[in-house]
Amino acid sequence: MAKFDAVIQRGLKALALATQHAAVLGPRLPAGHVAALHANLTQLGAAVPGQKAIRAEAQQAAQSQKETFKKLVALLSALRTSVKHDEDANEADKKAWGVGTKLDVESPGRTLAAAQSVLKVARAKPERAAMLGVIADDVAKLEALYAAAVAADDDENVKRANAPLSTKARNALQAKVNAAVRKIAGTGIVAFALDAPVRADFEALLARG
């Protein structure tokens, strides 16, 4: 955030100089230029901590999603292990329950698909599921975890989508402030071309920091 803090500081200096020398710069600057800079600085100042909050929300959503999917994978793997080693399970059962296919908490889409497939089998043949050691309580638990995982995945996607939008808005504000500062700097340098101390103040706005 240091770069954006520097942009704000330059913007504030430009705003102060434009206000201090308004009588001279006023006729040279576009109407509303100083007011627009003030408004953009206010927004940019709020956007910096706001961006941090959005990033934090995205990280929290990602962590929440991961924890939920860990639980879902844990239950799915337990069910598959039970079916795999059950003497009543035939090859068709093992295939239907996904025995042998990989579960990865880092692949939400595949994990949700696996859970949905198991739920479909368990709901369609509850007696067969019970014979394999999977009772109604297990299915209910899987349904609850599946629903929670879907919700967590949706929330994480929304937070992740919002973060770049906030970055885009912040970058747009930065560009506007930088352009306004350059305009004020150039105008001030010309207006005070023969007043070395004041001219130096405006030239300092163009220095890279």
Summarize pLDDT for 31-48 with one digit per residue, the tens: 999 999 998 888 877 555
**According to the model, what pLDDT value does residue 6 have?**
85
Asked if residue 111 is part of any domain, the answer here is yes
* Greater model confidence, 186 or 147: 186
Neighbouring residues of 103: CB distance < 8 A, sequence distance ≥ 6: 73, 76, 77, 80, 110, 111, 114
Asked if residue 209 is part of any domain, the answer here is no
Rounded to an integer, what distance in angstroms lies between the CA atom of residue 207 and that of residue 109? 50
pLDDT tens-digit readout, 122-154: 999 999 999 999 999 999 999 999 888 888 776
Question: What range defines the domain where residue 26 resides?
Answer: 2-204
**According to the model, what pLDDT value does residue 3 have?**
65
Q: Which of 111-120, 148-157, 159-168 has the highest mean pLDDT?
A: 111-120
Q: From the CA atom positions of the chain, what is the Rg in Å?
A: 30
Rounded to an integer, what distance in angstroms lies between the CA atom of residue 69 and that of residue 42? 41
**According to the model, what pLDDT value does residue 12 have?**
92
Domain total of the chain: 1
Q: Is residue 121 within a helix (H) or strand (E), and if so which, with residue range?
A: helix 108-124
Asked if residue 55 is part of any domain, the answer here is yes
Assign 91 a pLDDT band (cuts: 50, 70, 90). very high
Cα distances (Å, whole numbers) of residue 120 to 21, 116, 130 = 74, 6, 14
Q: Is 72 helix (H, G, I), strand (E, B) or coil?
A: helix
- In this structure, the dihedral spanned by the alpha carbons of residues 84, 87, 88 and 89, taken in order and rounded to 10 degrees, is 20
Neighbouring residues of 169: CB distance < 8 A, sequence distance ≥ 6: 47
User: Does pTM surpass 0.75?
Assistant: no
Assign 80 a pLDDT band (cuts: 50, 70, 90). very high
Asked if residue 129 is part of any domain, the answer here is yes
**According to the model, what pLDDT value does residue 156 have?**
60
Per-residue burial over 118-145, b = 16 or more CB atoms within 10 Å of its CB, e = otherwise = beebbeeeeeebeebebeeebbeebeeb
Structure tokens given for 12:
């504030």
Asked if residue 100 is part of any domain, the answer here is yes
